[in-house]
Structure 1
Amino acid sequence: MTRASLPSDVKSGARNITAVTSTSQRMRGKTAHRTCPPETMKLIIFTLVLFVGMAGWFAFQSAFSPPSVSKTDEHAFMNNNLKTKTGIHSIELDTVLDGGPQKDGIPALTNPKFTSVNDAAESLKKSDGVLVRANDEVKFYPFAVLVWHEVVNDTVGSRPLVITFCPLCGSAIVFDAIVDGVAERFGVSGKLHESNLLMYDASTESLWQQILGEAVVGDKTGTKLSVYPSQVISFNELEKRYPNAQVLSIDTSHLRDYGSSPYGDYATNDALYFPVSISDTRLPAKEVMYVVNFNEKSVAFKLKDLSATPARVSVDADELTARIVDGEVAVTSKDGGSIPGYHTMWFAWAVYHQKDGIVWKGKTQL
């Protein structure tokens, strides 16, 4: 510990020691046999004890204090109106980027309005979306609405769910919203990690990596959400197969142009708006994958190559089979169990799954 790092009261104590010692030496130079007055000696001893004690206290504090966060990192989160405890994190804070809007600048929807398929047809006819089923209730969340809100807190068949969509990486994922036994509400933090949405929870404002379904900054760090089954289908398919479904309404109380996308042709061009740490060129960056998590592995299927013919992937001693059934992706394990999955772009999946990822590309397994 340097003196410069000590509090001002300890600094002045250290300076007093120097002054007293210098005075004592000068006195000894002038009068060799003169002894130090008792009062001066007491002052020297007291000051030394005080200095050593304070130094020990600061050393103890440094050894046992929790990890600190730089003022720059704290300020960056405060500027975004987030109350996230940044001292707890599983990712490096300097890899968290501002996406532009601040917290809730992209407003999440909670218990939103729905309309019928017939009534939604005129405004959403050309939109694909996320289909969710639970306890005989069917709901459809059009990308035309999700692209403006990214997070929808809802219940389907009395089940609390959070429907999420990150336009930057095309990841459409539905999660069970129960966290620690309680239905959690999520919002859009305005921050990104590896070009992916960071959601926040309302109870602790921890940040959650959408593509992983895992809290990565804040009190909930390490907590994971369970993926809930969903499908991405076109509105035309919805009309044919689910005519009684409820459709997320464009009546959201927010002024948005739901007939256009703020991202333009981003989904079909080659550009990324934000940097990523890994560029995996085995597939085009924005190739759409269907992903399932199974036996501590993440398995990605090249979506456009899936068909009614089973695609098989070995996962340790098990095997996954993926096929298209009635226009939807169905993935099952060797024992016939259904595995829930989600859609995402290749680059976003590849960033996180270099070690635990398995890729099915056409007739091959990478």
Structure 2
Amino acid sequence: MTARPLALLALLVFASTALADPAAWRSEWRDTDFTRSSVEDWDQIISGGPPKDGIPALSDPAMIKASQETRLDPREPVMTLEMGDTARAYPIRYLMWHEIANDTVAGVPVAVTFCPLCNTAMVFDRREDGRVLDFGVSGKLRFSDMIMYDRQTESWWQQALGLAIVGDLNGTQLRQIPAVMESWEEFRARHPDGLVMDQPRASRQYGVNPYRNYDSAAQPFLYRGENPPHGIAPLARVVRVGSRAWPLERIRQAGELREAGVILRWTGGQASALDSARIGQGRDVGTVRVTDAQGRPVVHDMPFAFAFHAFHPDGQWMLGR
């Protein structure tokens, strides 16, 4: 019991264990077309506890200069987005409680997203067929991963894939934008004149990890699916590039890997957001940067192994043997 945070236990009490039935959701999702879906088994979708918008997504978050920010621990993780001459950091301490930040960076509408249960931190272009979508948190989970929804059509989107799975936009793929999770100290050193998302005006315990000890648990929370192969622990971090996954521990031990047309480099100094009670005190999991041979950033993310296996069942495990 001690390995699971009280917040997760509270969610477990309220999480739906009944078989999924789209008919039961129509009163809450009147504008969602459930006849259009790529979900083969509705039982894969369950309630995570909070209702629609119970986890409030952010829109047009306030930004301050990096030099003005004094609340973040140097080792705290931030999602860094560099577009043109613009560099912005989105602290995980805020995304932990809001999961989505709808923003516009260098003229591009983006959704900065983070699902704590899968450790999937991904940035997407919010444009779809000439219009801009605004995303919220549905309160539903599939394979433990957040299901987002867009407020324009109320279609449902699988965050780990950036793919619409239910509704008018079923089958639509969002473009993922290169971003990296790094420590606040790393961002501030590289971008002293950069911007960082200011603390939202909400009553939350920012800086506290509500999922204490989660990434050292034996099994993921609210997960209905297979464990990863090759004896890899379900909650071990991997670096995903396309449909390939490199175990984080392998990259850490090597320091640098050059495989499959990409370069993966590990440096220490970043705290795990899902370890200790205070995010900045989490154990060192380090930062991984992925580039091509010319040094250009490559789209990637760092999910838990179970999430990669769930959403890329035919993916390639880069084990080096």
Q: CA offsets, 1:269-317, max 9 Å, x none?
A: 2232212222224211111111122xxxx1112233325533313xxxx
Q: In the superposition, relative to structure 1, how do residues 72 and 216 fare at CA in structure 2: closer, same or farther (>3 Å)?
A: closer
What is the rounded CA distance, in whole Å, between the counterparts of 1:349 and 1:82 in structure 2?
32
| Residue pair 2:20, 2:43 contacting (<8 A) in 1 also | no
Match of 1:352 in 2: 311
Q: Percent identity?
A: 30
Instruction: Find the partner of 1:321 among 252, 259, 262.
Output: 262
Letter in 2 for 1:274: L
Structure 1 spans left out of the alignment, 5+ residues = 1-69, 314-319
| Counterpart check, 1:257 vs 2:195 | no
| Residue pair 2:34, 2:167 contacting (<8 A) in 1 also | yes
| Residue pair 2:219, 2:235 contacting (<8 A) in 1 also | no
Q: In the superposition, relative to structure 1, how do residues 134 and 325 fare at CA in structure 2: closer, same or farther (>3 Å)?
A: farther
Instruction: Find the partner of 2:218 among 267, 270, 290.
Output: 270
| Counterpart check, 1:332 vs 2:292 | yes
Q: Which has the bigger relative contact order, CA under 8 A and spacing at least 6? A: 2
What is the rounded CA distance, in whole Å, between the counterparts of 2:209 and 2:288 in structure 1?
25
Q: CA offsets, 1:191-235, max 9 Å, x none?
A: 011110000011110000011110001111100011100011011
Q: CA offsets, 1:5-60, max 9 Å, x none?
A: xxxxxxxxxxxxxxxxxxxxxxxxxxxxxxxxxxxxxxxxxxxxxxxxxxxxxxxx
Alpha-carbon shift at residue 268 of structure 1 (Å): 2.8
Three-state SS of the structure 1 residue aligned to 2:217 is coil
Alpha-carbon shift at residue 176 of structure 1 (Å): 1.1
What is the rounded CA distance, in whole Å, between the counterparts of 1:71 and 1:232 in structure 2?
34
Q: CA offsets, 1:72-109, max 9 Å, x none?
A: 42223424x56321111111323210111111100000
Alpha-carbon shift at residue 331 of structure 1 (Å): 3.4
What is the rounded CA distance, in whole Å, between the counterparts of 1:123 and 1:172 in structure 2?
19
What is the rounded CA distance, in whole Å, between the counterparts of 1:71 and 1:165 in structure 2?
24
| Residue pair 1:215, 1:221 contacting (<8 A) in 2 also | yes
| Residue pair 1:124, 1:144 contacting (<8 A) in 2 also | no
Match of 2:257 in 1: 310
Normalised TM-score (structure 1)? 0.71
Q: In the superposition, relative to structure 1, how do residues 90 and 183 fare at CA in structure 2: closer, same or farther (>3 Å)?
A: same
Q: After the TM superposition, which segments of 4 or more aligned residues of structure 1 sit over 4 Å from their partners? A: 325-328, 335-338
Instruction: Find the partner of 1:75 among 14, 19, 24.
Output: 24
What is the rounded CA distance, in whole Å, between the counterparts of 1:340 and 1:218 in structure 2?
27
**Which of the pair is proportionally richer in helix?**
1
Three-state SS of the structure 1 residue aligned to 2:214 is coil
CA RMSD of aligned residues (A): 2.3
Q: CA offsets, 1:109-161, max 9 Å, x none?
A: 01011122233233454420110000110000111000000011111111111
Q: In the superposition, relative to structure 1, how do residues 220 and 118 fare at CA in structure 2: closer, same or farther (>3 Å)?
A: same
What is the rounded CA distance, in whole Å, between the counterparts of 1:72 and 1:292 in structure 2?
34
What is the rounded CA distance, in whole Å, between the counterparts of 2:113 and 2:236 in structure 1?
19
What is the rounded CA distance, in whole Å, between the counterparts of 2:194 and 2:50 in structure 1?
33
Alpha-carbon shift at residue 339 of structure 1 (Å): 3.1
Q: In the superposition, relative to structure 1, how do residues 176 and 71 fare at CA in structure 2: closer, same or farther (>3 Å)?
A: closer
Normalised TM-score (structure 2)? 0.81
User: Rg: which structure is higher?
Assistant: 1
Three-state SS of the structure 2 residue aligned to 1:267 is helix
Which residues in structure 2 correspond to 1:207-218 (within 5 Å)?
Answer: 207-218=156-167
Q: In the superposition, relative to structure 1, how do residues 170 and 77 fare at CA in structure 2: closer, same or farther (>3 Å)?
A: farther
Q: In the superposition, relative to structure 1, how do residues 353 and 186 fare at CA in structure 2: closer, same or farther (>3 Å)?
A: same
Structure 2 spans left out of the alignment, 5+ residues = 1-18, 268-286
What is the rounded CA distance, in whole Å, between the counterparts of 1:310 and 1:211 in structure 2?
24
Q: In the superposition, relative to structure 1, how do residues 325 and 260 fare at CA in structure 2: closer, same or farther (>3 Å)?
A: closer
Letter in 1 for 2:220: L
Match of 2:279 in 1: none
Letter in 1 for 2:193: N
Match of 1:301 in 2: 246
| Counterpart check, 1:90 vs 2:48 | no
| Residue pair 2:21, 2:42 contacting (<8 A) in 1 also | no
